[in-house]
Structure 1
Amino acid sequence: MPGEPFPVDAAIARAVRAAGRVSSPYGTRPWRFVVLERRVGVKLDPDRVLRVADPHGQGARVACGATVYALRLVLAVTGWSSSVAVLPDRRDPDLVAEVRVGPRHRTTAEERSLALAVERGGGNRWPVLRRAVPEPARAALAKAARLEGARLHLIEDPDDQATVAAVIRRADFLRSRDDEYRAELRARQAREEGTYGLDTIGGGPEPLLAVLTTPTDTTVDQVIAGQALQRVLLEADIAGLAVSLLPRPVELPQTRSALHTTTGATPHAVLRIGFGHGSGPAPRRAGSEPGRAVTGFSPLG
């Protein structure tokens, strides 16, 4: 009947399908979902972590955090509350987080809007036009990050804009000279769709650059950053904005340090935000793997 929640099994299945469509830098999708009764484990898949681009797996754990937000959101719109435990089993460090289904939940209008965006594929990834982002949209993006425990630094000061743009160009230059990185990327692109997360920055003014940060850089911070990033991307989609993720500046120690100096916090993502050439999410390659669900997982507690 109207207003009744989905059965738990159906809600979890829908949430896992939606989470599997979350975007990740380089299209790695470095996660596995492990389902047992009313719990969904989000596990890091070491075989899908890039050895050169992400040697310590920080970016992969941020990507796993993004799926955690998608799981929570879709459970909410199917009528169920949820809670999150980060690193719930010390014996299994690849178990990044566990989403636990709670009591029934009354879905909000905001959750419905965000869920429509996540089920479309998680954001508008068309190329960004050089057109200013209005203040209400900027405020909504900053609020989205804040609600998930992170901070989205909108780079509005001209000196900071020049600094961050220089950091991005420096990261692009260093990566362009890294033969191992380029070989890894070619191998990845041979197997996966598109070039998500590979945008560079050109000359001239940018519509909006932003840096997503947390105070420190623990696994908990990385999962928080991923959830905040996903919510920001969905809010941008609702506002009709396109977002390009620029992973290189947060991958390299020297450029990551420069971003830390500018923002005063640990950077997890650099975003280039504006209005796109198209509407809705950019198309994905036909037959791309949306996610891999495994049953039979039993965590501690």
Structure 2
Amino acid sequence: MPTPPLDTTTVTDLVAAATAAPSMHNAQPWRFRFSTRTRTFELRPDLERAMPHTDPDHRALHLGCGAALLNLRVASAHHGWGTDTRLLPDPADTHLLATVTLTDTEHPDTELARLFPAIHRRHTSRHPFEDRPVPAPVEEALCEAARREGTQMVFPDPWHVESLLEWVEDVEGRDTMDPERFEDIRRWSRLGAEDAGTAVDGIPDYAFGPRKLRGRAPVRDFAGRRPVPDRPTAAFEATPRLAILGTTYDRLPDWLRAGQAMERVLLLATLNGLATSLTSHALEWKDLRELARDPGSAMGFVQMVVRIGYGPPGESTPRRPVRDVLEID
């Protein structure tokens, strides 16, 4: 099989797909470098886009970078390339999170390639979901997608879901008492037609979703107490369907694996007609994060809680120009 074409346009397209990944508050905390000589991408964090109040150890930042890494692998497979992916390949350079070398192969990863159509369709939905169950085979496939990336995902029992929802409510109360924690949201939310219309990052107000009238879906309100003109209200699910994604250990490579698993799950859910949103409220407090794990599983550390269901897919959020995140040499 001939080597697929690889020019600047293709490299740019691959990174554009990578940067469609979700990240905390849509901060897009990643940088890429591509070597034309070795056909290798380097992924590094953009620490200027960190969340000092709610993500001081950069765990969520690395989840986002892992999600971008998964998208890069998916896009490469779609374009007919095999990939050799290595996490933290240089012990002397801890900011080099991963390398992805494009290889000549007659057998690109078809399982990854089939996820490609979902990359630009996947959006975080901050809307109510329908009161109908997700079929068991679909949930099993989502759990298998997480396993393929070296992580574990479980759908907790009702009593555990109730506990998670109580912890989210606890966090919302704590945040009210600690205004500094709202600074990260304030920095990355875009209010008003001018800011929302010209933004290349962050959460624009049109993507906030409706204000919760009732219900217990764990959807973060990016408006807080700030008024958003013409924003509707809505009733959310009383019993949302939640999944817990986690790892055995809690080190930097585990965060990168969890980010890849998270995105693989989200893309597969999108292909299956599901809407999704990510819930990190309770995980931003150390004491609650330790309680969030499923005691009936071997999961050591919860990395993300995913809300899954049938409903509106959510609005597209802005992305930084590829030229701002990609260097080619």
**TM superposition score normalised by structure 1:** 0.87
* Percent of aligned pairs with the same amino acid: 27
Query: Which residue matches 1:181?
Result: 181
What is the Cα deviation at residue 135 of structure 1? 1.0
1:232-271 residue pairs with structure 2 within 5 A?
A: 232-260=265-293, 262=295, 264-271=299-306
Whether the 8 Å contact between 2:152 and 2:245 is mirrored in structure 1 is yes
What is the Cα deviation at residue 90 of structure 1? 2.7
How far does the alpha carbon of each residue in 1:140-172 deviate from its partner, in whole angstroms, 9 at most, with x for none?
A: 1111101111111112x2221212222222222
Query: Which residue matches 1:83?
Result: 84
What is the Cα deviation at residue 128 of structure 1? 3.8
How far does the alpha carbon of each residue in 1:193-239 deviate from its partner, in whole angstroms, 9 at most, with x for none?
A: 33679824998642411111010011111111011000000011011
What is the Cα deviation at residue 183 of structure 1? 2.2
The AA in structure 2 aligned to 1:193 is: I
What is the Cα deviation at residue 272 of structure 1? 0.9
- Cα distance in structure 2, aligned partners of 1:229 and 1:40: 21
Taking a change above 3 Å as real, the CA distance of residues 248 and 196 of structure 1, as seen in their structure-2 partners, is farther
The AA in structure 1 aligned to 2:86 is: A
- Cα distance in structure 2, aligned partners of 1:228 and 1:268: 10
- Cα distance in structure 2, aligned partners of 1:55 and 1:196: 24
What is the Cα deviation at residue 261 of structure 1? 6.0
- Cα distance in structure 2, aligned partners of 1:223 and 1:110: 20
Whether the 8 Å contact between 1:124 and 1:237 is mirrored in structure 2 is no
Which ranges in structure 1 are unaligned for 5 or more consecutive residues? 297-301
Query: Which residue matches 1:26?
Result: 25
Whether the 8 Å contact between 1:41 and 1:97 is mirrored in structure 2 is yes
Whether the 8 Å contact between 2:125 and 2:276 is mirrored in structure 1 is yes
Instruction: Report whether the alignment pairs 1:70 with 2:67.
Output: no
How many residue pairs match? The answer is 288
Instruction: Report whether the alignment pairs 1:226 with 2:236.
Output: no
1:70-149 residue pairs with structure 2 within 5 A?
A: 70-107=71-108, 110-118=111-119, 120-123=120-123, 125=125, 127-129=127-129, 130-149=131-150
- Cα distance in structure 2, aligned partners of 1:117 and 1:167: 31
Whether the 8 Å contact between 1:152 and 1:212 is mirrored in structure 2 is yes
Alignment equivalent of 1:199, drawn from 210, 214, 219? 219
Whether the 8 Å contact between 2:78 and 2:114 is mirrored in structure 1 is no
Whether the 8 Å contact between 1:241 and 1:274 is mirrored in structure 2 is yes
Structure 1, 101-110 or 20-29: larger mean CA deviation: 101-110
- Cα distance in structure 2, aligned partners of 1:204 and 1:131: 10
The AA in structure 2 aligned to 1:253 is: K
The AA in structure 2 aligned to 1:78 is: H
Helix, strand or coil for the counterpart of 2:97? Answer: strand
CA RMSD, aligned part only? 2.5
Instruction: Report whether the alignment pairs 1:57 with 2:76.
Output: no
Structure 1, 252-261 or 43-52: larger mean CA deviation: 252-261
- Cα distance in structure 2, aligned partners of 1:4 and 1:281: 39
- Cα distance in structure 2, aligned partners of 1:255 and 1:244: 20
The AA in structure 2 aligned to 1:87 is: L
- Cα distance in structure 1, aligned partners of 2:175 and 2:106: 46
The AA in structure 2 aligned to 1:134 is: P
Taking a change above 3 Å as real, the CA distance of residues 204 and 75 of structure 1, as seen in their structure-2 partners, is closer
1:4-43 residue pairs with structure 2 within 5 A?
A: 6-9=4-7, 10-37=9-36, 38-43=39-44
Taking a change above 3 Å as real, the CA distance of residues 97 and 203 of structure 1, as seen in their structure-2 partners, is same
**TM superposition score normalised by structure 2:** 0.80
